[in-house]
Structure formats: structure tokens, C-alpha cells
Amino acid sequence: MRPGGRSQNPGGGQPQPSPAITAAMAGAVDLGALKARNEAAARAAEAPAPTAGEWVVDVTEATFQSQILDRSFQVPVLLVITSARASTAAEMVTSLETLANEAQGRLVLGKVDADQNPRIVQAMQVQAVPTVFAVISGQLVPGFEGTLPDEQLRDFVAAVLQAAQQAGLTGQAATDSVPDDDEASGRQEVPDDPRFDAAESALAEGDYATARERFQAILDAEPTNSAATLGLRQVDLLSRMDAHQDAPANPDPGDVPGQLAAADVAFAADDADGAFRRLLDLLARTAGSDRESVRERLIEYFDLLGADDPRVGPARREMARALF
């Protein structure tokens, strides 16, 4: 790892899936990981919102889960990986602290000393310090490497706040509105939640309509339930696969729907790298609504795999470079 570096902008009637698709999806999408993120969301819902004095925190390996991942289900988190060896980093970190305090609790800044926390550096594939990420609802979003002037830092923070708002983060803890005992006892946001068992059973049986209804019922009761949202995305992917039975394996480069279908087929076969490569190349050739469709499909794949999948980080960073 080197100090400094180059800056970058930040119903029962449904047909059964084929055995090959079912087996491939079992490897490509891990609902256990979705439930783990839901556990983090549940912990965040029970925790108080950050207050003055907690908007800028020093992060260690021991506190990364609670201060970064769990907190990111309440408010967006800026994460700066820095080091005393990076002589140009101190001024920018001070500017980030100022912006975090100005936000008055709408975001949190976490600071990681790269020299004291090498396992965080390794897990996040940091190549240089300083490096800045955003974390929104447990998802790691690439920011930039190196330093940026204050004006661009403000633009970056504004973009993170806007993305968090679009993701449903209001900057208020879920405990601002405390449910009564009956509501609390009815909220099951743990891995053994029987509602998820029922939805996943329908999905495994190829009953996409029922699976969709059951995931949607969870969302109707708990609109911020990230695991249910991702469960619906899995239903969407498998449903699309039925329409892709006769899709060409090598569509014309300018055929956006065909390229999206080919990417789905690759992703369902656990060839995430191939799916990412196809869509990232397509992203560079498209504009307007076509480009947005490609970006949304990439985000869907990132969410389905989870931020901890080693294939996600490099693809997400390449997407950010292509977009910004």
C-alpha cells in the first residue's frame, strides 16, 4: 500500500426453473448473507441515533461492525482510510470532519488508521492512503483515492447524502417511533424468521408469484427491511430467466436488452465476472435511459452478491470510474 495516489470521483402457475438454473442460483445468491445484513439493520433499529460527539469516530477492527456497518442502516457513513505517513491526508481529513459536524447527524465520519488496522485495509482492498468510501445500508460504495479540494469534497458529501435519501435513510433512528409490545413481538428480523422461510420455500419451488407476495408482505409491514428487498430482486432475476430461454448468447453490441439478458444468464450461472464485464463494457457505450438501465442492473447484482463478495469491489469501482 502506498501513501497518496491518484484522485477519482466518486403463483403456482409459474413454470419451474431448470435444475441448472436452480443450482447455479444457489451459488450465485446467498440469502444467508441477506439475513446477516438484516440482523445489522435490526441492531441499528434498536440503537440510539448518533448525537453530537459521535459524528466523527475513530474506527478499529473491534468497532468496525457497530460503528460502520450497523450505523450505516441509520445514516450514511463516510469511511476514510488514512495514515500519519500520508503527509497530504491530514488537511483533507480535517475538512471531512468539518463537513460531518456541519451535517448535524445526517452522516457519520469513520476514520481508520491503516497502520494500526491492517486487516481492514486488506479486506477493503485499499491500495493507497488516503482512500474514502461511503457505506449505505451495509453496502460499501467506492469514493475516491488520494485527496480532493474542499469544493469537490462538499460535492461528494452531497452526492452521498442524496444516495442515502434515495435508499430510504432519513438520518433518524428507527427507535424514534417505538412500537408497542404487540408490534415489537410481531417483528421478526432474525435469520430464523418464518416469513423468510415461507418466501424462500416458494422461491425454491419455482412459485415466483407466491414468493413475490410473501417478500412483498414483509416489505408492506417493514418498508426498510433490506433482506426482503433483496429477496424480491432474486425473484425478479429468476423470473427474467424464463424470458431468456431463447436469448442469443452473443447479442449485437448495440442490443441493450440482449446484452442485459446475456448478463442475466451469466450471473445466474455464477459467472459474475462475465456478467460484470459485459455490463461494464456496455456502460461505456450507452447514454441516457439505456445507461441507467445498465447501471441499475449492475447495482442489482452487487446487492444480490453482497459487499463482502470479492468480485463486487473491483466491479463497483470500475462502474464508478465509468459514470464519474
In tens, the pLDDT along 125-137 reads 899 999 999 998 8
Burial of 68 (0-12, 13-18, 19+ CB in 10 A): buried
Residues 322 and 280 sit within 8 Å (Cβ to Cβ): yes
Q: Is it the case that residue 144 has pLDDT exceeding 70?
A: yes
User: What is the model's pLDDT at position 40?
Assistant: 64
Helix (H, G, I), strand (E, B) or coil at 34: helix
Q: Is it the case that residue 232 has pLDDT exceeding 60?
A: yes
Burial of 16 (0-12, 13-18, 19+ CB in 10 A): exposed
Confidence (pTM):
0.48
Cα separation, 97 vs 206, whole angstroms: 50
User: What is the model's pLDDT at position 171?
Assistant: 54
Report the mean per-residue pLDDT for the chain: 79
Cα separation, 23 vs 21, whole angstroms: 5
Burial of 192 (0-12, 13-18, 19+ CB in 10 A): exposed
Peptide bond into 50 cis (omega under 30): no
Q: Is it the case that residue 158 has pLDDT exceeding 60?
A: yes
In this prediction, residue 3 has a pLDDT band, given cuts at 50, 70 and 90, of low
What is the pLDDT averaged over residues 225-242?
Answer: 85
User: What is the model's pLDDT at position 97?
Assistant: 94
Tell me which of 211-215, 227-231, 248-252, 320-324 is least confident.
Answer: 320-324
For residue 144 the three cell numbers come to 475516491
Residues above pLDDT 90, as percent of the chain: 31
User: What is the model's pLDDT at position 38?
Assistant: 60
Q: Is it the case that residue 21 has pLDDT exceeding 50?
A: no
What is the pLDDT averaged over residues 187-215?
Answer: 78
Q: Is it the case that residue 210 has pLDDT exceeding 70?
A: yes
Cα separation, 145 vs 319, whole angstroms: 15
Q: Is it the case that residue 29 has pLDDT exceeding 60?
A: no
List of domains in the chain = 12-42+179-323 (no CATH), 48-175 (3.40.30.10)
